[in-house]
Homo-oligomer: A and B are copies of this chain.
Amino acid sequence: SPPEKPTIIKCRSPEKETFTCWWKPGSNGGHPTNHTLLYSKEGEEKVYECPDYKTAGPNSCYFDKKHTSFWTIYNITVRATNEIGSNVSDPHYVDVTYIVQPDPPVNITLELKKSVNRKPYLVLTWSPPPLADVRSGWLTLEYELRLKPEEGEEWETIFVGQQTQCKMFSLNPGKRYIVQIHCKPDHHGSWSEWSPEMYIQIPTDFRVKD
């Protein structure tokens, strides 16, 4: 029989300059099946084929900078074809502006410091993911950190906006904390994965004076 229609499962841009879409093939109807990704762009009749099936691995299409436009809707379909016939996925509408999911922040440092009036606090600093061009202002990232005592259950999440450092005052003396950070474009798109877990031991004299 002809192949089942494939399903476009996800499109993602890691740095708001390129993007990739992935699809899941349906059953191949017992015959070797190949897949063709076709797309048209808002305001154009022309239909294009996927520019690069390789870079992002199997069942994927990678759109490099030249093929990536923002504030315009891509109408994407995937056609599965075997010797009996073919079947086309439902159309998938994508505006790359809304599918940006950055990589996690990097270069995270944790440092215990004492303020002028000898009050101890924790300073966290981090850098944006390397791929993300925040210097030019094309992409603006916001950050959120979470921490909890090692054996604790509940994460405490703190949104820190566009800063790349944060001072923490009210921490539990003598506890060992786990800290992670993630980031997201300032308006649209989704949070990155959390950064790898980092640990910091809060000294027992990390006390608020009388």
Q: Which residues in A have some Cβ–Cβ distance to B below 8 Å?
A: 115-117, 119, 121, 140, 149, 151-154, 156, 158-163, 166-174, 204, 206-210
Contacts and interface: CB of A to CB of B under 8 A. Distances in A.
A143 B64 CA distance: 36
A170 B154 CA distance: 18
A159 B117 CA distance: 14
A80 B52 CA distance: 72
Main secondary structure of the interface of A (DSSP, over half): loop
A178 to B, nearest CB: 14
Contact of A208 (B151, B159, B171): B171
A14 B85 CA distance: 69
12 contacts: A115-B152, A116-B153, A119-B156, A158-B161, A158-B163, A159-B163, A159-B169, A160-B162, A161-B166, A161-B167, A169-B170, A169-B172
